[in-house]
Amino acid sequence: MIVSSPGRINIIGEHVDYNDGFVLPFAINKRIWVEVVRSSFFEVNSEAYGTVKIKSIEKTSTWADYILGVLNEIEQRGFKVPPLKIKIWGDLPSGMGLSSSAALETATAFAVSELLSLNLDKSAVVEIAVRAERNFVGVQCGIMDQYTAVFGEKGQALLIDTMKITHELIPLNMGNYIFAVVDSGVKHSLASGEYNKRRAETQEALKILGKSSYRDVKRTDIDRIQDPVLKKRASHVIDEIERTVKAADYLKSGEMSLLGELLYKSHESLSKLYEVSCEETDFIVEFLRNNGITGARIIGGGFGGSVLILDEKERVKRVFEEMKQKYSNRFRAQLKLLFVESSSGVRKEGD
C-alpha cells in the first residue's frame, strides 16, 4: 500500500490554529510517500534518516515517533495494528516550515487504514495525526497542518475555522503572482520548547481575561492584561485572526498588493509581539520589503526556518540573487529558494 501526502504553505494565520483562530493554508506540490506492508516486526525506513526496528509500538525518541505515534493512536481507537514495515521517501524538504511531519503522519494513517481496511474517514485521519504529534512526539500543535494535508485541493486555499473544525475553499486567484519560500538555512535549538511555551502563554492570557476562546476576546479586552509578555501574545492572536479573514477576501478578489501588506504586518507581529522570529529571518523580510517585494513573512514555528514570499516570479528571482550574497556574508549561511504550487491532499497512489 503506497500513499502520498503533501506539505503545506500557510499564507497567513500563524500561531492561531491552537487558539480557535482562522488560518489560510494550501497543500503544495511537494509530497511524502509512505509504503506499508505486513512484517514479522515493526520497521521504519527512510532514505534520509535511516532505519528503526522494534518488536512493539513504543516511544523511541527518534524521528520514527511521528510514525509510531500514529500507529499507537490507531490502536487507541480499538484497532489492532500488526507488525508493519514502513518505507518513507519524498521531495518535501524538512525544516523549512512546510509541515513535513504532518505529511508523514497523515500519509501513515491513511496507508495503514487502507492496508488493514479500517475505513477511517478524513476527519479521523486528521485527529489521529494531530494526537500522535501531541501525545507521542510531545509538540502541542494545532490542527492546521494535518487538516490541510488531508483536505487540500488543487487551485484552492482553505480558510479553516479551527474552532468549528470546518473550512471554506478560497480560489487561489493569483494572476501573475506566485508564492515562493526562502529557507534561511538556520534553525535555532529553542524552537520546539518555545513553541509549547507560546501556547501556554496564550492560554494563560485567555484565563486572565476569563474567556474560553479567543473568538470571544475583543481588542479592548487586551488592556486588562497587566503582564507585558502575556499582553503581547494575546495581541498577536487577536490581530492575526482579523488579518486572516481579510486576507481570504483579498485572495478571492485577486488584490495581491493588499494581501502582501497583510503578510508584512503578520511578520512584524510575529517578530515583535509573539517573538518567534530571529535576526536572520528579520533580515530576509526587511531586505525583501526594501527591494519592492509585494509581501513576505516568517512561516512555521519560527526561530529560523523559512520566509514566505508573494510577488511575480521573475522579480522574486532577481531580488533573491541580490539578497543571497549579502545574507551569506553576514550570517555565514546559504539561502535556498523554492517555488511552490497548489496540490491535492493525501491520496492512495494510482487514484
**145 carries an active-site annotation:** yes
With helix as H, strand as E and coil as C, how does the chain read? CEEEEEEEEECCCCCCCCCCCEECEEEEEEEEEEEEEECCCEEEEECCCEEEEECCCCCCCCCCHHHHHHHHHHHHCCCCCCCEEEEEEECCCCCCCCCHHHHHHHHHHHHHHHHCCCCCCHHHHHHHHHHHHHHHHCCCCCCHHHHHHHHCCCCEEEEEECCCCEEEEEECCCCCEEEEEEEEEEECCCHHHHHHHHHHHHHHHHHHHCCCCHHHCCHHHHHHCCCHHHHHHHHHHHHHHHHHHHHHHHHHHCCHHHHHHHHHHHHHHHHHCCCCCCHHHHHHHHHHHHCCCCEEEEECCCCEEEEEEEEEHHHHHHHHHHHHHHHHHHHCCCCEEEEECECCCCEECCC
Q: Is the Cβ–Cβ distance between 36 and 108 less than 8 Å?
A: yes
Please choose, from the candidates 270, 262, 213, the residue with its C-alpha nearest in 3D space to the C-alpha of residue 242: 262
**Residue 63 in grid coordinates:** 524521528
Q: Which of 17, 145, 183, 311 is catalytic?
A: 145
- Report in angstroms the alpha-carbon separations of 8 from 81, 133, 219, 220, 343: 29, 17, 30, 34, 9
Pairing of strands 84-90, 25-38: antiparallel
Catalytic (active-site) positions: 145
